[in-house]
Amino acid sequence: MTQAADGLAALEAQLQQDLEYLELPAKSWVPAHTYNGESVRDVVVLGAGMCGLAALARLQLTGISNVVAYDAAPAGREGPWVTFARMETLRSPKNLHGPALGLAQLTFRAWFTAQWGKAAWQALDKIPKDQWMDYLIWYRKVLNLPVHNNVRVTGIAQVGELIALDLSGAETGRVYSRRLVLATGRSGLGGFAVPDFLSKVDRRFWAHSADNIDFDALRGKRVAVIGAGASSMDNAATALEYGAAAVDLLIRRKEMPRINKMTGIGSQGVIHGMHQLPDAWKWKFVDYTATTQTPPPRASTLRVSRHANARFFLDCGIKAVQQQENGLLIETTQGALHYDYLIAATGFTNDFNGRPEFAAIAPHIRSWADGRYQPIMGPARQSMLEAPDLGPAFEFRERTPGACPILAHIYCFNDAAMLTHGKVSGDIPAVSAGADRLVRGITASLFSEDVEQHYASLQDFATPELQGDEWVDATPLLKQENAL
């Protein structure tokens, strides 16, 4: 595939023209704030993966320009795509608008076609994952987004009405912000979901699917992968391709999930309507999806099953894992099995206490378990009970009113928001709609907080539209006429 650099330059010029036509970015309108003489950010975005970039872009386009995103990862290595995502291509179809924010020239399709042409676009099946990262790198560059890489936020605290953020890495010290967006990714506010039976097993013998795994070391080894989702297929396939002697997928379910239900009913109605539904309906949708589960993509499954040394064990629940001198003895509902290594493709959790940087706010975050869930809605499911109970713009709510007021200024723009907001803050399809909802909320809240200054600006504004020479006051003439 040949690449046309001038095609990309032309696309970038067209994008700039479109932005100009649409008067974007809008003029900056948020009054500057300081704290002890230091300037205060209007918004800090924590995380510069796809959601963080979309949020940052939407903020800038809306004229909220005193913003920055921090990401612990080096530039170009944010999120899973070139780190722990072990699929060959994206799981979603190629034509999704993703983070394009309604701007056609900002879509993956425009970026791809500008460089490789329409025929190559037609021939493309799914987007190679590394190429998706290249697109996100371009997105950030072409919009000139202020991302500071290699900076980890290690703590969050309330200082007056502000949010103080402690930084480490390429930048250190404390910065202050009026609003904070948590675009911290799939693990949301928690971390890896790890089954109890692994809690005492030495890390030499197992990894989570999102860990940095040394697959070279698995050559010639017997590997077990727990789970039947996309990540279990990707990790099993990678182990097989690196020369593992045998890879077994241990799947608790009696049958593989085969139908992607939520994708099946995807529509603008779902995107914009789900968050307005009564809570009982939200619960019903998410519970049903969790029960039916999302199948792994067909291509990812075939990438495993084409290896003769791959085996799928269904109805194979794990009862216990015993660490032995040179490996693991796994007692399953189908009998005992021996392995050298285990990969737990067991997903992520919203346990707020799982991330040290959120320690100060975690105990105060209201979740669905704190009264929003009622048994009449359906079965109590732990992963849903621990979901944060968010406001209409993704803002957290306090468990005890008054205990941590800054939560109302911290926005949960990640996968953990799904139960309250639908799937608009994690996956590619509706991230632009999510960023829009988020930024409308932040806009309204900043405007209302500064209302006195805006009113003073209204009073102070003194640039005349009329110079006074555009008309003649005819009242004296009328008086003269009446006097006659």
CB of 299 to ligand FAD, least distance (A): 12
Residue nearest to ligand FAD (CB): 49
CB of 3 to ligand FAD, least distance (A): 23
CB of 400 to ligand FAD, least distance (A): 25
CB of 101 to ligand FAD, least distance (A): 15
Residues at the interface with ligand FAD (CB under 6 A): 46-47, 49-52, 70-73, 78-80, 85, 90-92, 152-153, 183-186, 231, 357, 414, 426-428
CB of 86 to ligand FAD, least distance (A): 7
Cβ-Cβ contacts under 8 Å for 468 (sequence gap 6 or more): none
CB of 165 to ligand FAD, least distance (A): 9
Q: 114 near 134, Cβ under 8 Å? A: no
* Nearest to ligand FAD of 384, 428 (CB atom): 428
Residue/partner pairs of 292-295 with CB below 8 Å, 24 or more apart: 292/257, 292/259, 292/261, 293/228, 293/229, 293/253, 293/257, 294/229, 294/230, 294/257, 294/260, 294/261, 294/262, 294/263, 295/256, 295/257, 295/258, 295/259, 295/260
One-letter amino acid of 112:
F
CB of 256 to ligand FAD, least distance (A): 19
Q: 360 near 157, Cβ under 8 Å? A: yes
* Nearest to ligand FAD of 74, 317 (CB atom): 74
CB of 379 to ligand FAD, least distance (A): 26
* Nearest to ligand FAD of 183, 304 (CB atom): 183
* Nearest to ligand FAD of 61, 430 (CB atom): 430
* Nearest to ligand FAD of 15, 46 (CB atom): 46
Q: 245 near 221, Cβ under 8 Å? A: yes
* Nearest to ligand FAD of 42, 71 (CB atom): 71
Q: 137 near 22, Cβ under 8 Å? A: no
CB of 358 to ligand FAD, least distance (A): 8
CB of 315 to ligand FAD, least distance (A): 26
* Nearest to ligand FAD of 108, 339 (CB atom): 108
Beta bridge partners of 38: 35
* Nearest to ligand FAD of 42, 427 (CB atom): 427
* Nearest to ligand FAD of 184, 349 (CB atom): 184
CB of 79 to ligand FAD, least distance (A): 2
* Nearest to ligand FAD of 185, 391 (CB atom): 185
* Nearest to ligand FAD of 60, 332 (CB atom): 60
Using alpha carbons, select from 38, 129, 26 the residue that is nearest to residue 84.
129
